[in-house]
Amino acid sequence: MNDNNDFDKDDGLSGDYSSLNRQAVALKYDQDAGTAPKITAKGQGIIAEQIIRLAKEHDVHIYESPELLEVLIRLELGDEIPESLYRAIAEIIAFTYGLKREADAKEES
């Protein structure tokens, strides 16, 4: 019997079977373009783990909301978020901009 499986590889992923059910969606917002945020990446399992790992590596804030994820995961890559989510996404964007300002202020002092 072979006890090796893909989850034993040291690839920076979580390595447990619960990660198979994990989902992630990445959004991009270009304020200058004047358009709604767009879905730039989405996936489940290992793909979700990679999205999350890359976000962490690039200091991108990760926001967890199962309810919001349920809606966003159904959209296609490149889709703009629906108008019904504008307020929720705007609050998240404002929050993350605030976190970035705080971090920048700490670096300057």
Residue 1 lies in a domain: no
For 13, the domain range is: 6-108
CATH number of the domain that residue 49 is part of: 3.40.1690.10
Task: Give the model confidence (pLDDT) of 2-57 as tens digits.
Answer: 444 333 333 444 445 566 789 999 999 998 998 999 999 999 999 999 999 999 99
Q: What are phi and psi of 27, to 5 degrees?
A: -115, 150
Q: How many domains in the chain?
A: 1
> H/E element holding 25?
strand 23-28
pLDDT tier, 106 (very low <50, low <70, confident <90, very high otherwise): confident
Encode pLDDT of 59-102 as tens digits.
888 999 999 999 999 999 999 999 999 999 999 989 888 888 88
Q: Is residue 71 included in any domain, yes or no?
A: yes
Tokens read off for 21: 């059910």
**106/57: higher pLDDT:** 57
